[in-house]
A and B are shown apart, each in its own frame.
Chain A
Amino acid sequence: MIKSLRLRLLIHTSLAVAFIVALLGTAVYYFTRRSLERDFNEALLNQARAVAATAELHHGKIIFDFDPEEMPQFVIKNHPDYFEAWINPTTIIRSPSLGDRDLPQPAAIGPITYKDLFLPNGAHGRVLGMSFPIAEEHDEAGLFIHDPDSQTIPLSVASETESLRRTLEQLLWLLVGLCSLAVVVSGAALVLVVSRAVRPIERITRDIDALRESNLSARLAVPDIPSELRPVVEKLNGLLTRLETAFARERSFTADVAHELRTPLAALVTTFDVCRTRQRDEPAYIAAIDKSRQVAQRMQGMIEALLMVARADAGQLAVKLQSVDAADLIDDCWAMFAYQADARGLVVNINVQRPALLETDPEKVRIILHNLFDNAVAYANDAGTVRISAELSEGRFCLEVANTGSQISQEQVPRVFDRFWRGDESRVNTGVHSGLGLSLSQRLARLLNGEIEIHSAKMDWFTARLTLPVGMPTGQSAMAGAISA
């Protein structure tokens, strides 16, 4: 198997061209040769007839009225023609050119024969063998009258075929030359065309080779690409666009991570540096240690959330399905925030339909609930309201967590799912909220075939609405749910 497209095309096309040209050449050669030989034979036959016409029967004796002046071709020294005639089987006449040599004697009866031979002068020649009748009388018109008693005389006439052979040989070489030339020229043209055709491929190859992950904005040039290659180039460009977007996202993500980790790191380093500037009393050291620990904890939480986001993005987060009552999950998670809500003087309305049996991954749901509750309690205005409601409807579990005092306008809503975006502009960054909560929650919700939608109006309600599929509850638990409901 030849790998090079160019070589393969060249070989196959050259073979095809050679075959066709050889076929044509052979045909031309044979038709020309047949035509030339027919003309030659015709001429030889005319010679023979001319010789035969000189014979006549005169008083029972055959006389050839051969006049060398009239037919000098049988006399001349250079390239003469020859003839010989016999009567049973004695030669009665031979052309002066023959001297005392013989031509092959044809059969007395039979068709005209042609035979190639070497002539007495050593040249290639052809001899015509025939026999002709001879009559005694002519009629009034001078034509032979067929006489059944008439004799037939075998006659051989020979002529040189050197000229014919030479012509044919020249024709043969001419054709061979032309055919070879045709093959070479077509091969060269093919190489040229193919080279031109593959030039864009070579250019694309160079372009692709020059692509670096640092320069993904480059695109392969489309204009003079052959139409056959265009789809490939377009697909490659499409791939590049997707890669560029993905790389840009990763780069900005890495930059965000670096940025988000640098600030708490700076806090740690500064706290240590400042603490060490002088001798301090024990409570001051304890305060510095506690503060550092809190910052470190935040960093840990952030890194874990980041890892989970990254795993969710990479599809590496396994879903462990389990039958759970979402109402219980809500109770469990809310217990962690009830105290904080109370301490902030928030009014809390909880309206959860129970049971709310789901076939889902409770750990993932727990993280989502934790984030939603955390946001609601942290971002509600002082003495504001937090409202939690959940119900099963149309085969979907639907949870709404809302708080008053939203700082996020409706236009900003799409950004709340961006990693590291903190919408709460008026509040101090206490280091508790990394800006990853909603981003992670949305990914987890989607992992569970669910969705989180946000509605918000500035200084009004901020509502996060989580919908999850009920999934495939076992028959028994569905029954139990129906009965207790």
Chain B
Amino acid sequence: MRLLVVEDFQPLRESLVQGLREAGYAVDEASDGQTALWHSRSGEHDVIILDIMLPVVDGLTVLRNLREQRSPSLILLLTAKDTAEDKINGLDLGADDYLVKPFVFAELLARIKALIRRKYEARSTVLHISDLEVDTTRRSARRGGRTLDLSGREYALLEYLAHNHGKIVSRSDIWQHVYDFNASPESNVVDVYIGLLRKKIEQPGSARLIHTRRGQGYFLSEGGPA
């Protein structure tokens, strides 16, 4: 899952980015509204964590802009403004969630997960595809009752595929949603991770779950794409 952190106060932004990366998210960062708009134009961020008081272009303008462009990204306002009016205003402008500073980092993580579930229309925190279980709360996966030993990156890839299960996702989709821009953009990195993930979830004798559609991408499904 790819996030965008927009925060002008450097020490806070650094900690946020570090914490979110360590939690397995691909994170982009911006310190002002203009950079935030430039980053978010692609619409590949699942969740944008947006401060309101920002230099150049303020957060609410960024929010309005994104909503006018029908950006698919969910937006969490993370701000020191704590009055009911501020919250109402922010939510009315199209924000999906609102968190007041200072906050507990675990709460921010929980809210981001909830937003991601919402984005992929998953009511439950556990995604089931055939005998594969992806627990988005614990960030772990089981297949046929056996816990899979996945790295953070592998889990992120699996969760992204699971959220989009039955749909073909292209390599660039995966690249954009799972990997940081600062990772080396080699074209076969995605294929390598898909290979590693396959090895871990597809034991000899079990049904194939990650399918390759040549020239288009991958999809996670019991059978063919929906």
Which residues of A are at the interface with B, using a C-beta cutoff of 8 A? Answer: 258-260, 262-271, 273-274, 277-278, 291, 294-295, 422, 424-431
Contact = CB atoms under 8 A, between A and B. Distances in A.
14 contacts: A259-B80, A262-B80, A264-B9, A265-B101, A267-B15, A270-B16, A270-B19, A270-B102, A271-B11, A294-B11, A426-B32, A426-B55, A428-B10, A429-B31
Interface stretch (B90-98, B103-111, B154-162): B103-111
Q: Which of B53, B101, B103 has the most CB of A within 10 A?
A: B101
Nearest to B52: A259
A294 B9 CA distance: 12
B188 to A, nearest CB: 30
Given A278-B22, A426-B55, A429-B9, 15 more contacts: A262-B100, A273-B15, A273-B19, A273-B105, A274-B16, A274-B105, A295-B11, A425-B32, A425-B55, A426-B32, A427-B55, A428-B31, A429-B8, A429-B55, A430-B10
A258 B80 CA distance: 8
Contacts of A267: 9, 11-12, 15
Interface of B: 8-12, 14-16, 18-19, 22-23, 31-32, 53, 55-56, 80-82, 100-106
Nearest to A271: B15
Contacts of A278: 22
Contacts of B101: 262-263, 265-266
Contacts of A429: 8-10, 31, 55
B55 A263 contact: no
Interface of A is mostly: helix
A431 B82 CA distance: 21
B55 A424 contact: yes
Contacts of A430: 10
Contacts of B22: 274, 277-278
A87 to B, nearest CB: 122
A258 B79 CA distance: 12
Nearest to A432: B10
Contacts of A428: 8, 10, 31-32
Q: Which of A264, A266, A430 has the most CB of B within 10 A?
A: A266
A259 B81 contact: yes
Contacts of A262: 80, 82, 100-102
A263 B12 CA distance: 8
A422 B9 CA distance: 12
Nearest to A423: B55
Nearest to A280: B22
Nearest to B101: A266
Contacts of A295: 11
Contacts of A274: 15-16, 18-19, 22, 105
Contacts of B102: 262, 265-266, 268-270
Nearest to B33: A425
Given A259-B53, A263-B12, A430-B10, A269 B105 contact: yes
Nearest to B107: A273
Contacts of B9: 263-264, 266-267, 429, 431
A277 B152 CA distance: 14
A217 to B, nearest CB: 16
Q: Which of A268, A270, A271 has the most CB of B within 10 A?
A: A270
A102 B82 CA distance: 116
B15 A264 contact: no
Nearest to B99: A266
Contacts of B56: 425-426
A428 B12 CA distance: 12
B107 to A, nearest CB: 9
Nearest to B55: A425
B103 to A, nearest CB: 6
Given A427-B55, A431-B11, A266 B19 contact: no
Nearest to A274: B19
Nearest to A294: B11
A235 to B, nearest CB: 34
B182 to A, nearest CB: 18
Contacts of B80: 258-260, 262-263, 266
Contacts of A258: 80, 82
A260 to B, nearest CB: 8
B111 to A, nearest CB: 14
Nearest to A428: B31
Contacts of A431: 9-11
Q: Which of B15, B104, B105 has the most CB of A within 10 A?
A: B15
Contacts of B10: 428-431
Nearest to B16: A270
A268 B101 CA distance: 11
A264 B11 contact: yes
Contacts of B12: 263-264, 266-267, 270
A295 B55 CA distance: 20
A460 to B, nearest CB: 19
Contact of A266 (B32, B53, B55, B103): B103
Nearest to B14: A291
Nearest to A273: B105
Q: Which of A264, A427, A429, A431 has the most CB of B within 10 A?
A: A429
Q: Which of A262, A267, A431 has the most CB of B within 10 A?
A: A267
A294 B32 CA distance: 22
Contact of A277 (B19, B31, B100): B19
A274 B16 CA distance: 8
A301 to B, nearest CB: 14
A18 to B, nearest CB: 65
Q: Which of B12, B19, B106 has the most CB of A within 10 A?
A: B12
A426 B30 CA distance: 12
A436 to B, nearest CB: 15
Ranked nearest first, the 5 interchain pairs of A and B with the lowest CB-CB distance are: A273-B105, A274-B19, A266-B101, A267-B12, A262-B80
Nearest to A259: B80
